[in-house]
Amino acid sequence: MKAIIFAYHDIGCIGLLSLIKSGYKILSVITHNDQKNEKIFFSSVKSIALKKNIPVFTSETINSFIWIEYFKKLEPDVIFSFYYRNILCSEILKIPKFGSFNLHGSLLPKYRGCCPLNWSIIRGEYQTGVTLHRMTTKIDHGPIISQVKININKLDNAISLHKKICYAAYNMLNKIAPVILKKNFCETPQNCHNTSYFGKRSPEDGLIDWNQSAKKIYNLIRGLTKPWPGAFSYLNNKKIIFWKSKIIKKKYDIDPGLIIKINPLIISCKIQALNIISAQYTKHTFNNKTNIYHLSMIKNKKYVIYPNSTSKPILKKILILGINGFIGYHITKRLLKSNSYKIYGLDLKKNLIEKFINNSKIKFLQKNIKSCSHWVKEKVKKCDIILPLIAIARPMQYVQEPIKTFELDFEENLKIIRYCVKYKKRLIFPSTSEVYGMCTDKEFHETNSNFVTGSVRNQRWIYASSKQLLDRIIWAYGKSNNLLFTIFRPFNWVGSRLDDFKIAQMNHARVITQMIFNIAHGLPINLVNCGKQKRCFTDIYDGIEALFRIIENKKNNCNQEIINIGNPKNEYSILELAKIVVHTFQKFTSSNTFPKFSGFRNLRGDEYYGFGYQDIEYRKPNIGIAQKLLDWKPKIQINNTINYMIKFFLQL
């Protein structure tokens, strides 16, 4: 039986060797490059494949058209995935004659998702296992082929459980692989009433909350011990990592987080206390055999984390409404990277931010804002910063759905603005470059340039007018009620995740995404009014850095300011932009892979957008205020942006 193997880590090595031993013909192995920020304590799938003279590849864009075609040409009978970290698309799963199988480190359907080994210890489970199941488009959902249970005892930690899982996987695969080879196996549907799902963990998730019980903290420590990054806390604002501990079953009538005793080191918890057997403080490692008094940085310190002490990182709370949108996704990613914010998010969908949802610093609600006004009000009261990104912002939509645009973009946002006034919260409001309309200034200035819009019958102006009026209301509240606000005006921010091909299929995507879609599908690029309109395109990473600095507001100089965020050096007509996209696309793809370019098609505005559209000749920002207040200027050229957008959308 011919097989393609997707594999990584020790389990990947075990799976590959087991299939070779059982007589499978391995056509190709796909693995990962080792990550620089990950401690490599496990064996190399790549090394084993090379020793066995098996073709081996590493790619993080495995679902691209080119890879799919490669796998089809191999004509595999079966695909196996052993701890491979990327999700395989449905097109790949359909290729093998007898299906695709995945080995997962839990007793499915429990602990679907990422890091089941660590999660099972952290959550105090007494049993886990390994499961081989048929792969479907849903993560860890397919019927079970084989399953082995593993006991977790109280002294087990992450590395000891890892060894147990490897041993169990080795025995299970040696039994089931020959059975699959003979096509003589049974499949058992998963029990959908007993499921649980857990997301990725990052090193930051190891932060200890001393207001939890000693048992919970003990489980966190053993679940993240070496070679994983470890559970940690702070002593005098310096990190202390805990590798091994022991529960002290004694009540202490003192606050959690206090050091009760120095030698041995005992720390109070909400319930009971922990004896720290092994830990690391800055460059010093110590254990109970060490006289801790000799470590001068620890001597006589009275706390590890105390609720009101400066040792505990204080997270600012930010509410992001429309968190699953283009800007919402990227600013969430940037805020999490800073490790300084607790994020509350709301949106109708979660497809973009799904990988962030299980992060302890995010609380997400998937609902329509119109149906949860009480939740929004309570979160505005609770948070320090309010960022309302909810809006209809695609030209096609606000031309065709003007009332819906007004109700969402104006009415819902006005409620949020009034909550900010009432509860004295800082508001960061996304205006738009469209508020300037058909202004005749060479460069648009935040407070000096006029707003010039068209007649009422041209409904495209309902979006700009809604935003413009909100800008004026916010400004007025700032003057009359001392509302702390910053209005930022994005000028054509572009980048990965700006719409998708489903939206482009309806001709509703914004310009670069729509162009890439049309070229990839052999459709002509539509140019409205010959594509003479000029725009200044701003890379999303440049834009997000500016927005992040507004949120940080380190010098408190962004209060009651309006700030253009754009790249005046990236000014191109739509026709010029289209030519760059076509040239870049052809550079990355062969003529055999995609249809021949179908050229350009000129349309009137009302032909493309519908009645009520009126175009804007140019929009060029003056960014002097952004440069002065934020110490920011855009760096990324449009060619680089288009380059990575094509790679992203085509998964090259």
Q: Which of 434, 446, 545, 561 is catalytic?
A: 434
Asked if residues 356 and 330 have their Cβ atoms less than 8 Å apart, the reply is no
pLDDT, one tens digit per residue, over 628-639 is 999 999 999 999
pLDDT > 70: what percent of the chain?
94
Among 330, 489, 535, 619, the one annotated catalytic: 619
| CATH classification (class only), 391-650 | alpha beta
Among 9, 32, 104, 460, the active-site one is: 104
- The percentage of the chain sitting over the pLDDT mark of 90, rounded to a whole number, equals 70
Least confident window among 59-63, 192-196, 293-297, 367-371 = 293-297
Is 434 annotated in the active site?
A: yes
Residue span(s) of the chain under CATH 3.40.50.170 come to: 2-198
Helix, coil or strand: residue 246: strand
Average pLDDT of the residues in 98-125? 94
Range(s) of the chain covered by CATH 3.10.25.10 = 203-294
Q: Give the model confidence (pLDDT) of 200-230 as tens digits.
A: 777 878 889 888 899 999 999 999 999 999 9
Residues 6+ apart with CB under 8 A from 308: none
What is the C-alpha separation between 119 and 621, in angstroms, rounded?
49
104 is catalytic: yes
CATH 3.40.50.720 residue ranges in the chain?
391-650
Tell me the average pLDDT of the chain. Answer: 90
Second CATH level (architecture) for the domain 2-198: 3-Layer(aba) Sandwich (3.40)
Closest by CA to 620, choosing from 543, 534, 527, 500, is: 534
Predicted pLDDT at 614:
86
Classified by CATH at the fold level, domain 203-294 comes out as Methionyl-tRNA Fmet Formyltransferase; Chain A, domain 2 (3.10.25)
Highest mean pLDDT among 41-45, 120-124, 189-193: 120-124
- DSSP per-residue codes, 375-432: HHHHHHHH-SEEEE------HHHHHH-HHHHIIIIIIIHHHHHHHHHHHT-EEEEE--
pLDDT exceeds cutoff 90 at 99: yes
Q: What is the dihedral of CA 57, 592, 524, 615, to 10 degrees?
A: 30
Q: Which amino acid is at 297?
A: M
Higher-pLDDT residue of 287, 106: 106
**How does pLDDT run across 172-197, given as a tens digit for each residue?**
999 999 999 988 899 999 987 778 87
Give mean pLDDT, residues 366-391.
95
CB 126 within 8 A of CB 149: no
Active site residue 354: no
283, pLDDT greater than 70: no
For Cα atoms 470, 471, 474, give the angle at the middle one, nearest 5 degrees.
80
pLDDT at 331 over 90: yes
* 603-607: average pLDDT: 86
Q: What is the mean pLDDT of residues 555-568?
A: 93
pTM exceeding the 0.85 threshold for the entire prediction: no
The two most distant CA atoms of the chain are separated, in Å, by 82
